[in-house]
């Protein structure tokens, strides 16, 4: 059964990896690490029960404030997996229903969900209210960050009955989305949106065969799935199929199909950093460090070349058949693209793809990189507890119980029944999904965008310009001041 956590064996092997090891030794260690992730996440686990008091709440309501709406992200990242009215024969819905009923029966509560496309406004109203109506609040973490610095939320480490070290809570979000030792935002097996919002690479097996390319699966398993190998394959398949002398979307063949913001996800996948430091000593903007800018500039050389990479911008109206995910699926299925970088959830758009496709993690920078990195979309909803949560004990106990039960009822259905059995085409992709799940990271710079650093690469690509380190150096001071200001607020929050 798949458990959402950083594998202890993975971490142990990473700690053993010596920086000065020869390339072949490092490659062997990386291959062992990948194999360990696959083996550990495949093994059956003995059920772990939460350490909660024997208590009931006399039929009290437990109310989620969730998200929803009509925009693409509001549709795809709606908090629909928090509540289900009844069993309807749809696997995920029914798993959510059974999870909630189990918790309701045990703790004598009634679970409710209020969804609002402007949940932030509702939170503001609730913060000002003497009678907060929500037991837990959810929103896209790109929108919740400023609320942390405004002091809206509780440090979840201080909330009794929440065991943040438990395997049903994502450990990465606790370290990645904070500038202190405090934890304000959380996700895990209580929802599936973190699984669906994790970025990966789809590849067209037919094109790999037609162009006699190396097996991407073997590259991943050996630790050799790197930017150099990725670039080599991207360039190998790019062709001017209609002979016009120009590379045109849907008419010619490209090695990579993506959009402007994916440069950041691929950069993070390479192990690149926007800032570095720790809660004790503070942080500094590090994008201009040689190791980081080399990663970004080498990546931009590939993505910025219109001969190899198609940057797609589509219709974001979900009422039409032209939403950008659908367009990607059509083009990808029509063999116009070898690779497509997208969120895991977009696998549903490839169900009708005629040729076979596979799944890969984002490539590493080189073979000395100790692991793969899988960034999570900044738009996935995560939970927080407001400072005026009406019954903190009830909120903590029910959240802990829902996440624990979700690890055994909801997550397996999403990952094993839907992703692994319904949508994937081969066993290797199932193994890759396990590697990706254990490689998840969260993008704090993508949320905060201090000083405009995050948007530089998007802008120069849009304008067809050269990516220069001086563009970043000009904004370093402003970005550092904002980082320092937010660090101070994090450290001051009680």
Q: Give the pLDDT of residue 12.
A: 34
**25, pLDDT greater than 80:** no
Q: Give the pLDDT of residue 427.
A: 92
* Largest separation between any pair of C-alpha atoms in the chain: 73
pTM of the predicted structure, to 2 decimals = 0.88
DSSP 329-362: HHHHHTTSEEEEEEEGGGGGGGTT-SS-EEEEPP
| Average pLDDT of the residues in 309-334 | 60
* DSSP at 364: B
18 pLDDT tier (thresholds 50, 70, 90): very low
| Average pLDDT of the residues in 165-188 | 96
* Backbone angles phi and psi of 430, in degrees to 5: -60, -45
Q: Give the pLDDT of residue 41.
A: 47
24 pLDDT tier (thresholds 50, 70, 90): low
| Average pLDDT of the residues in 463-475 | 94
329 pLDDT tier (thresholds 50, 70, 90): low
Nearest alpha-carbon partner for 83 in 113, 46, 123, 56 = 113
In the chain, % of residues over pLDDT 90 = 69
* Backbone angles phi and psi of 178, in degrees to 5: -145, 155
At 283, which helix (H) or strand (E)? strand 282-285
H helix runs in 334-449, sequence order = 392-412, 427-437, 444-448
For residue 348, count CB atoms less than 10 angstroms from its CB and return exposed for 0-12, middle for 13-18, buried for 19 or more. Answer: middle
351 pLDDT tier (thresholds 50, 70, 90): confident
**160, pLDDT greater than 90:** yes
Residue 65's CB is within 10 A of a number of other CB atoms, namely: 25
Name which of 3-7, 176-180, 206-210 the model is least confident about.
3-7
For residue 23, count CB atoms less than 10 angstroms from its CB and return exposed for 0-12, middle for 13-18, buried for 19 or more. Answer: exposed
Q: Token digits for 49?
A: 């029960």
3-state helix, strand, coil in the chain (%, to 5): 45, 15, 40
Mean pLDDT rounded to a whole number for the chain = 87
Residue 335's alpha-carbon distances to 215, 330, 433, in angstroms, are: 18, 9, 23
| Average pLDDT of the residues in 27-48 | 57
Contacts for 89 with CB less than 8 Å, ≥ 6 apart: none
Place of tokens 């319904």: 422
């Amino acid at each position: 059964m798949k458990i959402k956590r950083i594998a202890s064996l993975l971490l142990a092997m990473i700690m053993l990896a010596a920086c000065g090891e020869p390339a072949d030794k490092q490659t062997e260690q990386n291959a062992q690490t990948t194999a360990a992730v696959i083996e550990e996440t495949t093994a059956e686990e003995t059920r772990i029960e939460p350490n909660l008091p024997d208590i009931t709440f006399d039929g009290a309501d437990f109310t989620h404030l969730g998200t929803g709406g009509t925009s693409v992200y509001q549709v795809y990242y709606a908090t629909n997996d928090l509540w289900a009215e009844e069993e309807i024969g749809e696997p995920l819905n029914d798993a959510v229903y059974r999870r909630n009923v189990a918790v309701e029966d045990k703790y004598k509560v009634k679970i409710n969900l209020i969804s609002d496309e402007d949940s932030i406004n509702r939170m503001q109203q609730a913060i000002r209210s003497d009678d907060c109506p929500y037991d837990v609040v959810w929103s896209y973490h790109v929108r919740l960050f400023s609320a942390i610095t405004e002091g809206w939320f509780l440090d979840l480490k201080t909330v009794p009955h929440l065991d943040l070290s438990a395997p049903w809570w994502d450990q990465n979000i606790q370290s990645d989305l904070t500038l202190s030792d405090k934890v304000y935002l959380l996700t895990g097996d209580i929802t599936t949106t973190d699984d669906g919002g994790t970025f990966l690479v789809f590849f067209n097996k037919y094109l790999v065969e037609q162009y006699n390319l190396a097996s991407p699966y073997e590259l991943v398993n050996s630790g050799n799935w790197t930017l150099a190998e990725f670039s080599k394959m991207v360039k190998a398949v790019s062709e001017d199929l209609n002979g016009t002398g120009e590379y045109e979307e849907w008419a010619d063949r490209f090695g990579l199909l993506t959009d402007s913001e994916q440069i950041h996800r691929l950069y993070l996948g390479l192990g690149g950093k926007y800032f570095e430091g720790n809660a004790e000593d503070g942080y500094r903007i590090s994008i201009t460090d040689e190791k980081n800018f080399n990663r970004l500039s080498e990546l931009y050389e590939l993505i910025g070349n219109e001969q190899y990479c198609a940057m797609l911008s589509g219709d974001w109206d979900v009422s039409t058949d032209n939403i950008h995910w659908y367009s990607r699926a059509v083009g990808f299925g029509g063999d116009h693209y070898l690779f497509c970088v997208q969120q895991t959830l977009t696998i549903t758009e490839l169900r009708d793809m005629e040729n076979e496709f596979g799944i890969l993690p984002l490539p590493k920078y080189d073979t000395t990189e100790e692991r793969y990195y899988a960034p999570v979309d900044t738009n996935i909803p995560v939970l927080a507890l407001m400072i005026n949560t009406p019954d903190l004990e009830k909120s903590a106990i029910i959240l802990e119980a829902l996440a624990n039960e979700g690890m055994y009822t909801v997550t397996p259905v999403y990952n094993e029944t839907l992703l692994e059995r319904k949508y994937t085409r081969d066993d290797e992709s199932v193994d890759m999904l396990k590697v990706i799940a254990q490689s998840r990271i969260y993008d704090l710079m993508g949320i905060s965008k201090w000083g405009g650093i995050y948007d530089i690469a998007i802008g120069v690509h849009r304008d067809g310009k050269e990516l220069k380190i001086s563009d970043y150096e000009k904004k370093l001071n402003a970005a550092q001041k904002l980082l320092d200001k937010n660090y101070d607020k994090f450290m001051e929050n009680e």
